[in-house]
Amino acid sequence: MRTDSLFQPVKSEAGAKRTVRLTFNDQPFTVPAGLSVAAALLMSGIRRFRATPVSEAPRAPYCMMGVCFECLVEIDGVPNRQSCLVEVADGMRICSQEGARDLVYQPSDVQALEVRS
């Protein structure tokens, strides 16, 4: 089932001057600074954040306050991050979380990224 986002930007905050650039599944977006990743992706029109591990059903943010774990995405190589609790940053590379994360290979990828940056 596809639905509209439950959330709308607060009007007084919508015209923020500073912006950051990030990508979601390699697609570039420019979003207001200071937002959570979840809010930024929702206002960019993203409606499918992840696929569930068991049934692979599509999911998007629900609670926006760190409780429901529906907003999981991969951020800069780190899987299963709660996007409602992470602030956007310039150059952030975000990917949808496709099912369960892989424990076996992920840590080394993360270390490699951290060494490069």
Partner 1 sequence: MSQVSRQSDVIVVGGGLVGMAVAYGLARSGVSTLVLDQGDVAFRASRGNFGLVWVQGKGHDLPDYARWTGSSATRWPAFAQALLADSGVDVQLRQPGGFHMCFSDQELLERESRLRTLQAALGDYPFQMLDAADLKARLPLIGPAVVGASYTPQDGHVNPLKLLRALHAAAQAKGAVVRSSMEVQRIDSAAGEFSVTTAQGRFVAPRIVLAAGLGNPALARQVGLHAPVAPNRGQVLISERVRPFLEYPTINVRQTDEGTVQLGDSMEEVGFDDSTSTDVLAAIARRGIATFPLLRDVRLVRAWGALRVLSPDGFPIYQHSATHPGAFVVTCHSGVTLAAAHALRLVPWILGGARPSELQAFSGERFLTDKVYSHAH
By CB under 8 A, name the binding residues for partner 1. 53-54, 69, 80, 99-104, 106-107, 110
* Other CB atoms within 10 A of residue 97 CB: 22
CB of 98 vs partner 1, minimal distance in Å: 11
Of 38, 35, 93, give the one whose Cα is nearest residue 68.
38
CB of 10 vs partner 1, minimal distance in Å: 30
Task: Report the residue number, 14 or 112, with the smaller CB distance to partner 1.
Answer: 112
Task: Report the residue number, 91 or 99, with the smaller CB distance to partner 1.
Answer: 99
Which pair of structure tokens corresponds to residue 40? Answer: 């930024």
Three-class DSSP category at 92: strand
Task: Report the residue number, 7 or 69, with the smaller CB distance to partner 1.
Answer: 69
